[in-house]
A and B are shown apart, each in its own frame.
Chain A
Amino acid sequence: MAGYNKKAEPAHAKAESHSHAEHLREKHLMLDPLPRGQMNSMVMESMYETSWKFWVVFAILSVIVAYGLFYSWGVMIAEGLGVAGVNRPSYWGIFLVNTVFWIGISHAGTFISAILRVFKAEFRRPFTRAAELMTTFGLVQAGFSVFMHMGRVWLAYWLMPYANQRMLWPNLHSPLTWDLLAITTYLLSSTMYLFLPLIPDLAMARDRSTGWRKTFYKTLALGFRGTEGEWAHLRNAMNIFAFAIIPVMFSVHTIVSWDFAAATRPGWNSSIFGPYFVIGALHSGMGAVIMVLAVVRGTMKHMKYFIRAEHFDGIAKLMLIISMAWAYFFFNDYMVQWYGGDKWTHQLLHFHEAGPMGWMWFAMLIFNIAVPWAVLWNQKWRSTPWIVFIVGFFINVGMWFERYIIIPISLSINRMPFTWRLYEPGIEIPLGIGTLAFFILLYMGASKLIPLIPVWEVEEGQMAHELKQFGRETVVSVSELE
C-alpha cells in the first residue's frame, strides 16, 4: 500500500534520521496518518468490494452449516444422544469440549478490547472490533454446543431464572446455573461492548451509503451525530464497560472450570482450574485472533494499510507470554496432582500419557508450548502473517486437545474401574465442524456488513502519536488524550 504512505519529510533533514523516521512511519499505522475521508472510503470499499471467491467460500460454508449443524442436530434431537459418542463413564464429550473451546475463543476479543484499552496499549486500535466480533460469534457457537449437549434441549428454558409452571426456580447450587448466568451476562455485555464503539462508524457508513445499506446503517446508527453530549455518554459508557467486562470475562471461564473442578472426580477436583482455564482461553483466543487478522489482511481490500506487521508482532508477543503462563499453570496442576499420591489420580495421569490417547497429550504439549516458544521469540518470524497464522492454528488445535483430554479422556477413568471405557465421537464430528463453519460464516457476513476497522479510534490514535527527537534519536511518543 505504498500509495497511501505520506512522504513529506523536508529535504534538508539528515539522510540517516530521515530514513529512520520514514521507517518508523511505515512500521506504525499510528504514525502514518491518512485523511479521515480517505480512511472512511477505504473501509467502505473493503465492505463493498467482494470477489467471487468470497461467495464460493460462503456457499460451501452454508452447505456445511446446513448439513453439519442444522440437519445433524435435527437428527440428534429426533433420535436422542445415542447418535453421539457419549457413554458411561464419559457422559460429557465433544459438545462440552467445543463449548469450552468457543468460550475460550471469545475471551480474546474482550482481552484485546478491554484489557488493552484499559492499559492504553495503542497497537490494539485497528483490530479491537475484529477481535470483539470473535467474542460475540464465539459465544454463539458456545451456546449452540452447550444446547446440543443437553438431553432434552427443547426444555432448555427451564434453566432460566424464573418460576416455571410448578413454581420451581433453578437450582442456584449448581455450577451449571452459574454458568448460564455468567455466559448470558458475558454474551449480552460483550455484544453491547461491540455495539457501543460501533455507533460512530455506523454513522460514518450511513453518511456514505445508499439503498438497503443506507437503511441498515441508518437504523443501527440510531441517529448518532457526534455531538459533545453523545460522545461524552459514549466515552463514559465505554470506560465503564472496559473495566467492568474484565472481571466478567474472568468469571465466565472460571465458572466453566468449576463445572469440572467442583466435581468429585480424580483429575478434575483441582483448585487451580480457574486461572488455568482463563489462561487456556486466552491462549486459544489470541491464536484465533491472529489467524483471523492474517486472513482479513490477506483477503480484504485496503487492510494492509490498517493491519501491519507491528500488530502481528504485538499479538504474538502476548501469545508467547500467555503460552509461558499456560505452561506454568499446566505444570502446577500436574505437579500437585502427581504429588498428591491419590491412586485414582495416578491412574488418570498415567492414562493421559501412556493410554490409547497418549499421542494427544504429547501433541498438546508440543502445540501449546514447543511450537510458540520455538517460533515467537524471533521478531521477524512473529511479524510475518503466514507464520503466526500457522502458530495460531497449532495453538488452537493444541488447546482443543487440552479440553478433549480434560473432558472425555479424564472421564474414562473414575473410581469404579468396572465402568472404565474410552469415548469414541459420533455425530459430534459433523456438529463440531458445523459450529466452526457457522463461526466463519457469521464472521464473513459481518465483515461485509459492519465496518471492521474502528475508523474513529484509528484517527484518534493517529492524532495522539507523533515522532519526537531526543538528541539524535527519533522516537515514537504518544499523548494521553483522555
Chain B
Amino acid sequence: MVHYFIGNLGHLMIILSLVTALLSCIAYFKAAKSEDHGWTRYADISYYFHVLSLLGVLVVLFLIINKHYFEYHYAWNYSSKYLPIYYQISSFWNGQEGSFLLWMFWNAMLGLVLIKTNKYWKPSVMTVMTFTQFCLTTLILGVVIFDVKIGSSPFLLLRDVIPDAVFIVNPEFVPADGNGLNPLLQNYWMVIHPPTLFLGFASTVVPFAYAVAGLWMGKYKDWIRPALPWAQFSGLVLGVGILMGAYWAYETLNFGGYWNWDPVENAIYIPWLILIASIHTMIAYKKNENALKASIILVLATYLLILYSTFLTRSGVLGETSVHSFTDLGLSGQLLLFLGLFLIGCIALCAYEWKKIPTTEQEMEAYSREFWIFLGATVLSLMAFQILIPTSIPVYNEILGLFGVDSNLAPPADPVGFYSKFQLWFAVAIAVLSGTGQFFWWKKMDLKKFRAEIQNPLIVSLLISAAIFILAEVREVPYMILLTASVYTIVANAAILWSLKRTSLKLSGGSVAHMGVGLMLIGILFSSGYSKILSKNTTGLIYSKEFPDEINLNNLLLFLNEPREMGDYSLVYKGMRKKTNELGYVDSNKLTETDNPLRLMVTDDIYVGSDLVAARGDTLGVTNNENSYFEVIYEKEDGSQFSLYPRVQLNKQMGTVYSPDISRTLTADMYTHVRTFPDPEQETDWGEVKEYEVAVGGQFFINDYVANFVKMQRLDQPEGIPMSENDVAVKAVVEIQGEYQNYVAEPLYLIKDQMAAKIPETVYDLAARITIESINPETNSFTFGVQRTQKDWIIMEAVEKPFINLLWIGTLLVCFGFFIAILRRYWEFIIFRDKGLES
C-alpha cells in the first residue's frame, strides 16, 4: 500500500518552512530598519514556526526511511529493510536533499542560539540568517512553475522518479526492498562526519551575517567582537569535520591515504583556510584598520567560497574528475543563481560602504604583532588560492563551452605531487610565522629583545631537528626544512606556553593550537613523505620485454596458506572470514546463509582452542552479510605476529567495494587492502579426477598432502536425505595433514532407490574435493576420486605509514587550542554585552 499522507505532509511542511522563513526575513528586515518591537516579535514568532516545520520535515523524512516506505524514492534509493538504525541515520543524508536538510537544520539551530544570546544584533543578523535559510529551503521545494523546476523534494514517489513499466501495470506497486546504503558509507564515521561537517558549513553563515549586518548598520568595527567566537567555533567544527572525513577515507577507501587532493576535498578545504585567515585578522583589527578591511573581505569570502564549494560538489560540474561528488539533481542553475546573488550582494554592499570604513595610512611596524598576523593571513590566503585555481579547472571548461570554445583541460595527472610542490613551502611559511609571531603577541618588541627571546627556542629546535634527521634518516632538503620549521613552531609555542603558565592560561589557546599545527605538519611529512609500499614486487620479473623494469608493481599475490616474505614480515593468507556478533571472525566456509540475511548457520563445529564454541546447526548473527574479511597473518622474525582483516563488500547494486585494515602501533601504521580475489560468482574449475584405491587404514595423497583413510561407517540416517528401507549410506572418514592443521573429510556414498549417488566433500583450505567413486567388496577397499583446483588467493597492497599518530595528536591539540580561544572570546563578548557596551 502506498502511504500518500506522510509524503504530502512532508511536502506541506517544506512549503510552510519556506513561507515562514520568508516572513521572518521580511519582518527582521523591517525590525532592523525601524527598531519597532512589534516587527521583532512578529519575526521571532515566524522564526519559531519555521524551526518547527523544518523539524517536521526532518521527522517525516526519517519516518519514511525508518518505516521502510519504499514507495518513496528516497527510502528506496538510499536504504533497505535490514539496515541498522544508525545507518538509517546515514541514509538520511546520503542524498542531496537530506544533506541540504541537515545544513538547514544546523542553520535553524544556530538562529535560535543567536536569538537567545544577542538582542542587540538580532534583527540585522537574523535578516541575513533567515534569507540564507529561505534560499536553502527553495532547494528542496520540488515545485515546477512555468516549466522551471525549483528545488528537488525528498518526498517524491518512486514511480514519479523512475518511470518503470511495473508502474503502468500497477501504480500502487511498492518494491519489497530498497537499494540499500552505499557500502562505503556504512561506517560509523559516516554517522558523525556529515553532521559535523554540515555544522561547520552552516556556522560559517554567522560571522558572515555579522559582517553584512555591521556594514549595513554602519557598525564597521563592532560586529567583530560577537562574530569572532563564532568564527573560531566554525573553524574548529569545520576543521574537525574535514579531518573526520580524512580519517574515514583512510579507514574505508582504498586509495591508501587520508588526503587525495580530490576536488571535493579541496572544495571544503579552501573556505576553511580563508576562515582561519579571517580569524587571524579579526584578532588584529583593534590596533590596525587595515586588518578591519581584510577581516570584512575574508569573512565575506569564506561564505562565498562555501557556496562555491556547494556549487562544485552538487551541480555535477566536477563530473568525472571526482570520485565522490553528488549526482546532478538539476539544481545547478539554482545553485549558480544563489552564488551570483550573494556575490553581487557582497560586492555591492562593500562598494557602497567602503569609503565609510575607518582607515589608516599608518604603516605597520615590523615588530608589531599585527604585521606577523597579516603575513600569516596572507600565506593562508595564498594557500587557498593555489588550491582554488586548479580545482576550478572543470568550471573553466564549462565557461569556455558556453562561448563555444571546446576546452579539453584536465586536472593535473599527479595531484599529490602537483599540490605538494606548493603547499609544502606554504606550510614552511606557516610554521615559521606561527612560531615567530607568538613572540610579538605578548610583549612589545624591538630587535634586541626579539633576538634575546628567539635565541633559545631557535637553538633547541635546531638541535631537536638535527637529532630527528639522524634518527629518522631524513635526507631530502625540502623535508628537512619543513621538519625544522615545524619543530621550531612547537618549541617556540611551548616556550610561550611556559611563560603564560604563570600569568594566564586563559590566553593559551593560540600557542596550544599552533603547537598542534606543528605536530600535524610533522605527522603529514612522515606519513605521506615516507609512506612505504612494502608489497612492492621484488621477484625481479618484469611484465614484458616491451617495458623497462621501472614500472613498479605494487601488489603481492598470496595463495591460501602459502607464506610469502615481505620486508621484515612473513605473510600468510588464511582464508575468508565473516565477522559474527558472537564469535568475531569465523571461517566463512563453515557458515551458510539462512532465510534471515542477518543470521548465518554453522555447518561445521567451531572450536577455539579445544573448546567447542558453536556446534553445527547453531546460528550466528552478522550486521551485514555482504561483508567478508580476508585474514592475513603478519609474522616478524622474532615470532611476534598480528592479523589484519581487510574487507570486501559484495553489493549487488553498487558492485564490489574493498576497504583496508590497519594495524596501529605508536610509531607506524601498517595499512593493508585487498585489490582483487577470485570472483565468487565464477564456478570452481575442478580438474581431472585422480583415483586412489585405498583400504581402511591405508594412506594416499591429496594435493600433495598425506591423507589417512581412518574408517568407514554405515549411516542409518544421513542428514537431510530421507532414506527408505532398501537404501544404504556409507561414510568414509579421511584425515588429511595440512601445513597448519589436520582436516577431516567425510564423503558419502549412497544407494538410494537402487541408484548410486556420491556426495563429495570439499576441503577449501587445501583446494581439494574428495569423492567415493566406488566401494570394492572384493578387495575390501574404497576407490577415492580426488580433484584439485587452484588455491584460493588474494592480491593485496601493504603500505607502512610512519608517525601518522602525530597527525591525529596534533589535530586534537589544535581542537583543544581552539576550544580555549573560543571560551576566552566568548567571555569577552559576554562581559561587554552585560555591561551594556554592545552597541
Chain B binds chain A = no
Q: CB within 8 Å of B: which residues of A?
A: none
